[in-house]
Each structure stands twice: as C-alpha cells, then as structure tokens.
Structure 1
Amino acid sequence: MKTAPYLLTAATLLPAAHAMADATDYPLSLTNCGMEISITSAPERTVTVGQSATEILYSLGLADRVTGTSVWFNPVLPAFAEANDEIERIANDDPSFEAVVNKRPDLVAVQYEWHVGPTGSVASRDQFHELGINTYIMPADCDTKDNSTGGDGTRTAAFSTDSIYKGITELAQIYDVQEAGEALVADLAAREERAIDLASSLELPEDLSAAFWFSSTDLGVSPFVAGRLGAPGYMMEKLGIRNVIASDEEWPTIGWESIARADPDVLVIARMDRRRFPADDIDAKREFLRSDPVTQEMSAVKNNRIVEMDAHAMSATMRTIYGLESLAEALSTMSFNE
C-alpha cells in the first residue's frame, strides 16, 4: 500500500490573524543540545547537515539564506523543489568539514547530533565555533535522548512532537521570522490532531500491533526496527497501536524469527532514495517479505497489511507528522477480519 506524497503549500504557511510577534532582540542566547549559543544577528549564510533542518528552513521562507545542503534520504518536499534546485547539494550523505567551511556559513543547522557533536562525523561543534561559525542542532535529536552511547542513540523518554515545534520556534527566533514559525507550528499541530481523530473514529482491533522496518545491512539479517520511544513509537501510541518491539534504542536490530513470533498485525516499511544498504530498496524489502520462509507466514504479509512510509517520516522530523497522517489513512483502508 502506497501513501500519497506529502505536500506543503505556501497557503498552509500563512499566519493566522493575531498580534504581531515580537522581533528578535539580538544577541539571542539559547541553550541548544546542552550548549550555550549566542546569535548576534539573523544568519545570512546557512549550511544544513540533515534534510530535516533543510526543510524546516525552507518552510519558514528562508531558502535564500541556505547556501549548501547535505544528508538526504528522499527528494525534497514538492513545494520546495524549485528553490532547492538552486542551492548546492554539498553531499548526499555526510559532508566533509572542509566542504562545509568552504561555503563560509555563519550558521550550520544540523539534524543529528552524531554529525556535529563531541565526536561528530563531520566535525565537533567546537571546531566550528573556533572559526566563528555557530551551530544549531535540532532539539528532536537531543531532547529526551542520550547520544553518548553512539550510533542512533537511546531515548531516555518518549519522543514528542513538542521537540519538533521547539526547533521550529527557535529557528524562527534565530532568523527573526516568528510569524512564519507560529504559522508552521499551527499547521502541523492541526494536521497531527486530525490524524489522531481519524484513527480514533475507526473500528480497530483492541490490541492492534505493528512493527516499523527501516532497513538492514543485508537482506535476511536482523533488521533495524523502531524502538518504542522514537518517532514511530510516537505514531503508534497516538493511533492506539502496540509496538511489538520493546527496546528503548532508537533503531535496534531484532531477528526476523523474534518479529515473526510477535506477529504484528501491520508492518510499516521505509521508502527512501538512499542506497547505503541492500534493504534500503523498497522493492527489495517487499520481495524479501514475500519470499523468506519466516516472514511470508506473518499475518501482515499474508494479509497485505504492509504500509510504505517515507523514511524521513520515521525519524524525529517535521515529516513525522506526515507519517502519522499516512498511517492513519492506511489503517482506514484495512480489514482485520482474518
């Protein structure tokens, strides 16, 4: 089952009638992912490391302030395709420190702390700050999360879209576009509420269960599946679905035999353009599920209760809310009378 593409139009970003938001009083001081940062003026040249940071800036009307992007999973949201085509893509995956610095940014906006953290794969925040380049990491990747464990980190409490809204609000403050930030948060919150209302109106099984498969280093080996506290866990909790994976890790590897024994009613599989692993390919995922002697016996596979979801929606990003919508819509078309 394929879900509709996500659209974000200019009309959704128009601010509602309310009093004018206060202008940013610079220097602006913020605590961002445990580090104090000071913004002396609205950034003019931004490099993004992570698709989430890129798309939020575009959604705030700030494409003209972005001089380079990197770390892409899927095509940019359709509403921003034309603007994105005019901006240099430094790298599809991790950029080098030199490539970022060569764009002469005054701010580097980051999606994942492991890219720009104490032992960042691109650089540490201190390395950028020593050159007078500020960094901002999206709070969704550090609020209620311990990244010191390496890899994708471990959630210390359940992800909430509040961290997405916090990131939007703070970036709007940094760039002094508060009204655009308020409008975007209001639009996303309304979409979130509508998706939850749709699911609550459905006659779903009382113990409806699911698992989210992001990818695997190779087909047939233990897959990366969603733990209970990340973005997919949030979607399942909001829609009244039990996650068969009990781990607090963001993306633990669990054997297919264990997943098959849990026999989730629904499987949600990630769709992405990235091709780091064989299982990044959505068609390869589907073929494996149909042909493997263990997975082909799962209820979700036999009854075709497989939902394709934008991989980026499975991360703690603005697209998570679009993923919530697509899952609620998919549930509305399913039959659970086996």
Structure 2
Amino acid sequence: MSYKLLSSTLFAAAALTASTSAFATHYPFTIDNCGQKNTYEHAPERVVTIGQHETELMLALGLKDKIVGTSVWFGPLPKAYSQDATSLKRLSDNSPSFEAVLGQKPDLVEAQYTYHVGKQGEVATRGQFEDLGVHTWISPSDCVGKGLTDSSNSDGARSVPFSVDLLYREITDLAKIFNVEAQGKTLNAQLAQRIEKAQKAANSSALKAKDTKVVFWFSSSRLKGDAWVAGNSGAPEWIADALGLDNVVDSNQEWPAVSWETIAADNPDYIVLAKMDRRLYPADDIKKKIAFLKNDPVTKQMTAIKQNHIIVVPAMSLNPSLRNVDAVEQIGQKIGQMK
C-alpha cells in the first residue's frame, strides 16, 4: 500500500474509533481556509455553491435546506440525491455572474475551484464577497499543496499529491462550521469503509498487474488538438494508485495539455474518459471523444483502442470530490470484466 493510501486509511481509522459524542460548535468560531481566516458568529443560513462537489457535499451532510443557489454542473446528482435535483435552484450550469450570486442574499459562498473565487476569480474575488459581508469557502483540494501560475496550460500544478485526506479535512471543517459534527464523522467513516473495500477488491481480483498503463482524458479545447489529461499528482493519480495502474502522463500539472502523438507513444492499455453534460468544448461530448479515438490515424493504433479498453466514468469522479471513491469502484470493476 502506498503512503498516500496508507495515510488516508490511518486518518479514517482514527475517525472510526473516535468518540461518537457530538460537541456543539461554540460561536463565534474562527477557521482558516486556503490561507484566509473567517469568523462565523453562527452557522450559515443561506449558501450558494459554485461547483458540483460543494453541492453534493452539502447534501451528504444533510444541509440541503441551507442551499439557496447552485452552479457549475458537470452531470446528474448521485442516485442517493437524485430526488433533490428538481428542488435545487440552478443559477447557471457553468459560471454564474457575481450579480446572480449576490441576488440570493447568501451569507456563505462555497467554491470548488479557486478559478471561480480567487485572486483572479471568474465570478469574483474573495475580497469582493467579504467586503459585502459574505463569507467564502474554497475546497482545500484546490489550494492545499497546489499553486496556480500564469504560464500554466492546465488547472495548476501540485507540489503535494492529492490525497483523500483533503476530502476528510473539508468534511470535518464544514461540519464544524455548520454545527453538524456528528454527520461529518459519519460521512468520513462511510468513505473510509468504501475505500478499504475497494482496495481489497482491487488486490483480490489481480487488477494490480505489473506495468498496466492508463490515461485519463477529461476534455480538450479542440477535439483534434492536445488533450487535457490527468497528471501524476491529482485525483486520477490517486485512483490509479489505488488500483495499481500506471498513469502514463508524468506531470505535476493537474490537467496538462498533451499531444496525442505523445500519449500514443506511451501506448496505454486503458483509457478512462470523462462523461459530462457540460458543453463548453466539443470534446466535452463523450460520443465525439469515442468517435475521435476510434477514427484518428494516431489514436486508433493504441492498445487501449484496438482492444476496446475504453472506460467511461462521470466527470465529477475524476475531480477531487466525494465521487473519487466511486471511480475506484467503477474502474476496478470494468477492468476486471475486460480482462
């Protein structure tokens, strides 16, 4: 077991053995989030989520009634929350406007990515919200051990590899902010149990074949252009590591743009494709992705394509989120069926 997986297991074990006594949050409560300290006088009552992970995390913590607006959607909600879809207010499927967010009169805005709420935030900066008395939250997965540079052609580089410890941390912190620590402990324990089960299944089914190579394709700015594929430090690398697969892309960028000639030269055994409802780019369409791979003179020569080792998973499961565990389970099962 790798250090990344071991650290997560140890964290989870601590959560499982912790006292089940729930301690109420004492307000005012101050917490550091991505280098910014916020003091909460009470649990937030009106929350706008910018990023599907934040929406799903609020639902998982039983905080649906706190959500007054959502945005940045990649696809449907998990089955467990599918009935909530119609009652959640969508401000936008993609980035909402600053005015649309403020129109919901939020006391907290939760962002999945610094891209939307950060120094160069597409929606706004944290300061713009804070100046109006609106607290902000950014998922630790998008700031801890990660730096964004102007020269990056991707979603930024990671100096520290992604680990589910960051998800456990976010669950714990938000549960504290909203005074639902018992729900946070339960959710962490459930994730830990699923991770342990998925790892055992991967080991027992001999998925950990030596030198089995994989590539994760999210999207592309142009269908026939360089592909946005997973680097070796993000959530897909954690997924590959859990299954004993070798990610062919050696980059600390989260989603670097890599030529298909380079990918084909590494000749992956499996290719994992992100399926999404978003349509910002032609390659967001899963049907167009598959058609391109099977017909392009370069890509169709890859072992993964010749053997039809194409695995489709929801895009959300390849971004740091609660769904990373889903990806380990789904990819492991599909590879087992293909062998």
State the TM-score, normalized to the length of structure 1.
0.92
1:331 matched to 2:313: no
Aligned CA RMSD, in angstroms, stands at: 1.5
* Structure 1 pair 16–60 and aligned structure 2 pair: CA distance change class (3 A): farther
Asked whether the equivalents of residues 49 and 110 of structure 2 are also in contact (C-alpha less than 8 Å), the reply is yes
1:267 matched to 2:294: no
Match of 2:205 in 1: 202
- Paired residue secondary structure (1:269): strand
1:284 matched to 2:285: no
Separation in structure 2 between the aligned mates of residue 314 and residue 203 of structure 1, nearest angstrom:
23
1:304 matched to 2:305: no
Separation in structure 2 between the aligned mates of residue 85 and residue 170 of structure 1, nearest angstrom:
28
- Paired residue secondary structure (2:289): helix
Q: Which residues in structure 2 correspond to 1:217-296 (within 5 Å)?
A: 217-296=221-300
Asked whether the equivalents of residues 73 and 94 of structure 2 are also in contact (C-alpha less than 8 Å), the reply is yes
Separation in structure 1 between the aligned mates of residue 306 and residue 252 of structure 2, nearest angstrom:
29
- The letter of the residue matching 1:239 is L
Match of 1:9 in 2: none
1:163 matched to 2:183: no
Match of 2:49 in 1: 48
* Structure 1 pair 17–244 and aligned structure 2 pair: CA distance change class (3 A): closer
- Paired residue secondary structure (2:76): coil
- The letter of the residue matching 1:221 is G
Stretch moving more, 77-86 or 47-56: 77-86
Q: Which residues in structure 2 correspond to 1:1-338 (within 5 Å)?
A: 19-149=20-150, 152-204=155-207, 205-335=209-339
How many Å apart are 1:71 and its aligned residue?
0.5
- The letter of the residue matching 2:72 is V
How many Å apart are 1:93 and its aligned residue?
0.5
Identity of aligned residues (%): 43
Match of 1:5 in 2: none
Runs of 4+ in 1 over 6 A off after TM superposition: none
How many Å apart are 1:198 and its aligned residue?
1.1
Q: Which runs of 5+ in 1 are unaligned?
A: 1-14
Asked whether the equivalents of residues 155 and 256 of structure 2 are also in contact (C-alpha less than 8 Å), the reply is no
- The letter of the residue matching 1:202 is S
Asked whether the equivalents of residues 199 and 331 of structure 1 are also in contact (C-alpha less than 8 Å), the reply is no
How many Å apart are 1:206 and its aligned residue?
0.9
- The letter of the residue matching 1:154 is A
How many Å apart are 1:304 and its aligned residue?
1.1
Separation in structure 2 between the aligned mates of residue 62 and residue 84 of structure 1, nearest angstrom:
14
- The letter of the residue matching 1:198 is A
Task: For residues 54-110 of structure 1, give each alpha carbon's deviation from its aligned partner in whole angstroms, at most 9, with x where no partner exists.
Answer: 000011111001000000001122222322311210011001111101100011111
Match of 1:7 in 2: none
How many Å apart are 1:279 and its aligned residue?
1.0
Separation in structure 2 between the aligned mates of residue 97 and residue 55 of structure 1, nearest angstrom:
22
Task: For residues 241-284 of structure 1, give each alpha carbon's deviation from its aligned partner in whole angstroms, at most 9, with x where no partner exists.
Answer: 11100011011111111111100111001111111111111111
Separation in structure 1 between the aligned mates of residue 17 and residue 220 of structure 2, nearest angstrom:
44
Asked whether the equivalents of residues 114 and 147 of structure 1 are also in contact (C-alpha less than 8 Å), the reply is no
- Paired residue secondary structure (1:332): helix
- Paired residue secondary structure (2:338): coil
* Structure 1 pair 17–167 and aligned structure 2 pair: CA distance change class (3 A): closer
Stretch moving more, 215-224 or 140-149: 140-149
Match of 2:8 in 1: none
Asked whether the equivalents of residues 118 and 125 of structure 2 are also in contact (C-alpha less than 8 Å), the reply is yes
Q: Which has the higher helix share?
A: 2
Stretch moving more, 17-26 or 178-187: 17-26
Separation in structure 2 between the aligned mates of residue 291 and residue 22 of structure 1, nearest angstrom:
59
Separation in structure 2 between the aligned mates of residue 178 and residue 24 of structure 1, nearest angstrom:
8
